[in-house]
Amino acid sequence: MKITFAKPELPSAGTLVVGILEEHRLTPTAQQADKQSKGAIGRALAVGRFKGRPEDQLSILAPQGLEVQRVQLLGLGKPEALDALTLQAIGGRLVAALNAAGEHSAFVAIDEIAGASLGVGEMAANLALGARLRSYRFDKYRTREKPEQKPTLKRLIIMVDDPAAARRSYEPLEKIGDGVVVTRDLVSEPANVIFPESLAEAAKKLQELGVEVEVLGEKQMKKLGMGALLGVGQGSACESQLAIMQWRGASDAKQKPIAFVGKGVTFDSGGISIKPAQGMEEMKTDMAGAGVVVGLMHALASRKAKVNAVGVIGLVENMPSGTAQRPGDIVTSMSGQTIEVINTDAEGRLVLADAIWYCQEQFKPQAIVDLATLTGAILVALGNVYGGLFANNDTLAERLLAAGKATGEQLWRMPLADAFDKMINSDAADMKNIGGRLGGSCTAAHFIKRFVKDVPWAHLDIAGVAWSDKDAATAAKGATAFGLRLLERLVADHYEER
């Protein structure tokens, strides 16, 4: 779907989309279309259930007096509540409705609205972003779809008085959308396509945008002492990798970077502690944290963010075999700390342990945020609504919570406490990789925390929000890329040069 911006005019084909505020208050373009159609819009509003709320839409077919095939009435809600997130959701729902109707082109009128907190250009840009995000569809392997099963919308023309200004407002949002697409593609691919080496190759494509990318193989990681990460992948025929991405966008080359570390378990069978067969196919998404880091670095580089940023992703496949790690094995991490492996299905924290330690040793970051589809326990606590946030620094935690609220990728702060830390003490090693049935997300976070030096750090457990089984306003069911937009916002608000 192509999104463009143009001057306002009543179109002669396709669908005309006009906004309606609550209490049936027509925007100027809606008033013009109502007059041209001899009151068709007013009559439709009088007899329907359309109230003008942000989730409301109403289609008027072949209205007399207008040359378009239909007029789509778009609820905008109350002017004072018409913020960026609301407009993104409206744009997403619009695209879904137009595709369901079989429309090919649509013209969306964006008018000045008294009392709205956003200007016309910002409103147009955010509606466009929502439309772009909702139009995403992972369909490369669908070879037998009927025409009526495929999306039809090819063009979305957003009409504003100053289309150049609207386009300028949209450009940085479009780069974020590009990053979201990169992440959703990576997370959606099956594990026979995305495995450690191929995901590392995907990271290397960022070199085209000016990102410096280095990939370490097993021999290099063994020399560095990454026994925790390597132990996870030793049962797989695929070689484990560590991909390092650097974006140097700050004017001060010596500025300490903000660092993002992602769990990249490209398939998690559970290893010797094998998972149940039912639902195991979903474990192709266990690299979603790494996918978000790749997409985030893509977004930052695409929009030439004025920041130094580092992305480190630990890439492994957790498989059972004659060479696989066993329950009871003891491994030595890059930090020198030893780990008794009680359950080979608690593997993501082992990957993060070495990846985070490497990141600190090499880059001395000013802050670290890691992302991982880490625990089933976080779903029990937060469902599919919030990502879990653990942090050793209140300022960083507050910044992340605010960024999540601003982007709709909401986090809920979870506790860190000595009692949880004591639960992972081992009789045979420095620690064990699980702490028992209770408080599973909290003990997992404490495991990672043992590999964090004196640096602000946050851990995002995205196990419940990286994939959705149902459609949302700005995402069809499937990979969500949760975390990318909130981390991009975090960088823009607090770490980027002004």
In sequence order, the 6+-apart residues with CB closer than 8 A to the CB of 292 are: 183, 262, 371, 462, 466, 481, 482, 483, 484, 487
**Catalytic-residue membership of 275:** yes
Catalytic residue among 167, 349, 399, 432: 349
Helix, strand, coil shares of the chain, percent, nearest 5, are: 40, 20, 40
Neighbours of 394 (CB within 10 A): 10
Residue 323's contacts (CB-CB under 8 Å, 6 or more residues apart) are 234, 235
Asked if residues 126 and 175 have their Cβ atoms less than 8 Å apart, the reply is no
Map residue 475 onto helix, strand or coil.
Answer: strand
- How many Cβ atoms from other residues are within 10 Å of residue 318's Cβ? 31
- Determine which one of 53, 275, 306, 449 is catalytic: 275
Rounded Cα distance between 64 and 39, Å, is 9
| Rounded Cα–Cα distance for residues 9 and 135 (Å) | 25
Query: Dihedrals φ, ψ of 138, to 5°?
Result: -95, 100
Establish whether 349 is a catalytic residue. Answer: yes
Give backbone dihedrals phi and psi of 420, rounded to 5 degrees, phi first: -70, -40
- Give the other-Cβ count within 10 Å of 126's Cβ: 24
Catalytically active residues, by annotation: 275, 349
